[in-house]
Structure formats: structure tokens, C-alpha cells
Structure 1
Amino acid sequence: MTATEARTKDTREKIALGGLIVKAGLRYKKRALLLGLLIDAS
């Protein structure tokens, strides 16, 4: 995998994860809260 392909894959994964935040209704929550929720869930 080339560096460009790796960056493209990484970008697409980040966009997909952002979409999950929106679908969960957490778009306007503080980032620190979201990070805490994700850490607790893991």
C-alpha cells in the first residue's frame, strides 16, 4: 500500500466515524465529553 492510499483510507475511516457521531445525535457535544464516553465504552 502506498502512502497516498494509506492516507486516503485513514481519511475515509475518520469521515465514517464522524458520521456515527452525527447519527448518534452527539454533534453538538463537547469533544472532551465525546472522548470520555468513547474511553469508558472501550
Structure 2
Amino acid sequence: LVEGNHLLLIYQDEGKELITKITILRAINSRNNYEGNLHILN
């Protein structure tokens, strides 16, 4: 998440910032879903 905040600082333009936030949220959700599925399988 620290890395994500760093990216947001780089993209000050609102459009880019929004895209970056969405990308970060998607990445976090993908990882959480992956870990959740592993937990179910085990």
C-alpha cells in the first residue's frame, strides 16, 4: 500500500490518479480473492 501511495503522488493529474486508484484496488482485490480461495482449498 505504501507503493500505491507513492504511485498516487507521481500521478497528480486527476484522471491518472483515478485510474491508478482503480488499478491498485483491483490488484488488492485480486490478491485477497486468491488468498481467500487458497484458504478454502486448504
Q: Any unmatched runs of 5+ in structure 2?
A: 1-7, 9-16
**So what's the TM-score if we normalise by structure 1?**
0.54
Higher helix share: 2
Secondary structure in structure 1 of the residue aligned to 2:40: coil
Deviating runs (4+, > 2 A) in structure 1? none
| Partner Cα separation in structure 1 for residue 21 and residue 36 of structure 2 | 23
**RMSD of the alignment, in Å?**
1.3
**So what's the TM-score if we normalise by structure 2?**
0.54
Aligned to 1:25: 40
**Amino-acid identity (%):** 8
